[in-house]
């Protein structure tokens, strides 16, 4: 009798686990049917200039889509590195991701993709091949139409660089998370505005830059380390970053130190409240990176316009103060 019960449980487990494995294998790289946005690239030089500012400034594409850690450091410091992709992003238990080649190379870059495939990627976070990806890495779905057009128009002008980027390498856990977590599902209903708030010191511009261009909210909110879903109040910090030894060693930092984002709501103890005036705030951004192993894209952000920095300050200081304790900024496990 007991033997039969145990056998029954074992069979049930095999069926359930087998079914789950089968389900994940079937769906982890599924193709999404998402319509293409109705937008057109432009060859107008002011549009292209606008795109250049976004790519190398607030939207910081230029810091991620490079070929190596050394190039990432050079790009942060302001060197014009070709966006040829390929630097490995270690995603812990999930696997490894590789930012792709954004130059106009016809074999390995974005010249392989139509304009509408590019627009859909940015608007819905569906890759040109129709598969999904980690949406918090590319959180640009509500970038205004005019800015999205500017970004893609600028990318089209970049000189080709032949560099074959390896395919992402997902572990089974990574594949399962891709199937189950909302942070890997495409954005089916974005709500972009046709034009962005004008580049002026307004709260509306600050919110736009913070949410839809610079991803301040993405990093300065505590997130589950596996699924990247928010587990703390917005802008109150606490997101943890695993050490990246190769990066740390290249900048002379400690390869075992973890980091957490600080609270940037206007609470008296927050990192924002250190800056009493907008002038101090701008001066901090112009300094760029002070903590060498910081994940923050200080270089591109230091190259934002005065108006965008002022708008960010106005917006962040207008938020509800949160007394959330983000924890120690730097720590070891
Ligand atoms: C935080 C790092 C990061 C930033 C910032 C970033 N990307 Fe990406 N991007 C990635 C990664 C990683 C991938 C690969 C995703 C995948 O393969 O699942 C990717 C994929 C892409 C793709 C898909 C290309 C292909 O061949 O499938 C495009 C297009 C793209 N990014 C454009 C941009 C643009 C434009 C910007 C700036 C507005 C930007 N990215 C900012 C990390 C980033
Ligand atoms: C990729 C993740 C990431 C993004 C995106 C990001 N930050 Fe940060 N930020 C961090 C980390 C990590 C730190 C702590 C280390 C440091 O000070 O560099 C930090 C620190 C700060 C500080 C404290 C600086 C100081 O000198 O004490 C401020 C203020 C700040 N961020 C504001 C912003 C704003 C505004 C944006 C958007 C424009 C932003 N961050 C985007 C990760 C990020």
Q: What's the 14 CA to ligand 2 centre distance in angstroms?
A: 46
| Residue 327 CA to ligand 1 centre (angstroms) | 30
The pocket around ligand 2, CB under 6 angstroms, is made up of 210, 214-216, 218-220, 259, 261-262, 264, 271-272, 284, 290-291, 294-297, 301, 312, 329
Alpha carbon of 44 to ligand 1 centroid (Å)? 24
pTM of the full predicted structure? 0.95
pLDDT digits (tens, 9 = 90+) for 230-275: 999 999 999 999 999 999 999 999 999 999 999 999 999 999 999 9
pLDDT tens per residue, range 67-109: 999 999 999 999 999 999 999 999 889 999 999 999 999 999 9
Residue ranges of domains in the chain: 43-192, 197-333
**CA-closest candidate to residue 208, choices 219, 192, 221, 222:** 192
138 lines ligand 1 (CB under 6 A): yes
Nearest residue to 250 (alpha-carbon basis) of 76, 7, 39? 76
- Cα(154)–Cα(50) distance, rounded to whole angstroms? 8
d(CA 60, CA 147): 14
pLDDT tens, residue by residue, 142-157: 999 999 999 999 999 9
């Amino acid at each position: 009798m007991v033997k039969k019960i145990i056998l029954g449980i074992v069979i049930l487990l095999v069926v359930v686990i087998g079914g789950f494995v089968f389900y994940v294998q079937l769906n982890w790289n599924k193709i999404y049917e998402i319509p293409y946005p109705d937008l057109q690239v432009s060859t107008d030089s002011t549009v292209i200039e606008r795109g250049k500012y976004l790519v190398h400034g607030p939207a910081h594409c230029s810091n991620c889509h490079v070929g190596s850690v050394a190039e990432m450091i050079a790009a942060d410091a302001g060197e014009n590195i070709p966006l040829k992709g390929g630097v490995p992003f270690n995603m812990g238990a999930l696997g490894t991701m590789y930012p792709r080649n954004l130059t106009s190379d016809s074999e390995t870059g974005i010249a392989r993709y139509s304009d509408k495939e590019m627009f859909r990627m940015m608007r819905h976070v569906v890759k040109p091949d129709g598969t999904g990806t980690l949406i918090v890495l590319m959180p640009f779905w509500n970038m205004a139409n005019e800015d999205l057009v500017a970004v893609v128009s600028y990318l089209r002008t970049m000189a080709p660089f032949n560099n074959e980027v390896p395919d992402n390498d997902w572990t089974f856990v990574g594949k399962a998370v891709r199937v189950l977590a909302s942070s890997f599902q495409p954005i089916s209903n974005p709500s972009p505005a046709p034009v962005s708030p004008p580049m002026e010191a307004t709260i509306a511009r600050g919110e736009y830059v913070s949410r839809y261009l610079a991803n301040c909210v993405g990093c300065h909110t505590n997130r589950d380390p596996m699924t990247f879903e928010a587990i703390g109040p917005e802008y109150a910090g606490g997101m943890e970053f695993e050490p990246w030894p190769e990066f740390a060693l290249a900048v002379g930092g400690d390869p075992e130190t973890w980091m957490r984002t600080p609270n940037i709501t206007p609470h008296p103890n927050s990192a924002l409240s250190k800056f009493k005036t907008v002038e101090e705030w701008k001066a901090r951004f112009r300094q760029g990176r002070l903590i060498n192993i910081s994940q923050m894209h200080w270089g591109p952000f230091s190259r934002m316009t005065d108006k965008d920095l002022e708008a960010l300050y106005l917006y962040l200081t207008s938020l509800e103060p949160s007394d959330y304790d983000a924890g120690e900024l730097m720590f070891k496990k």
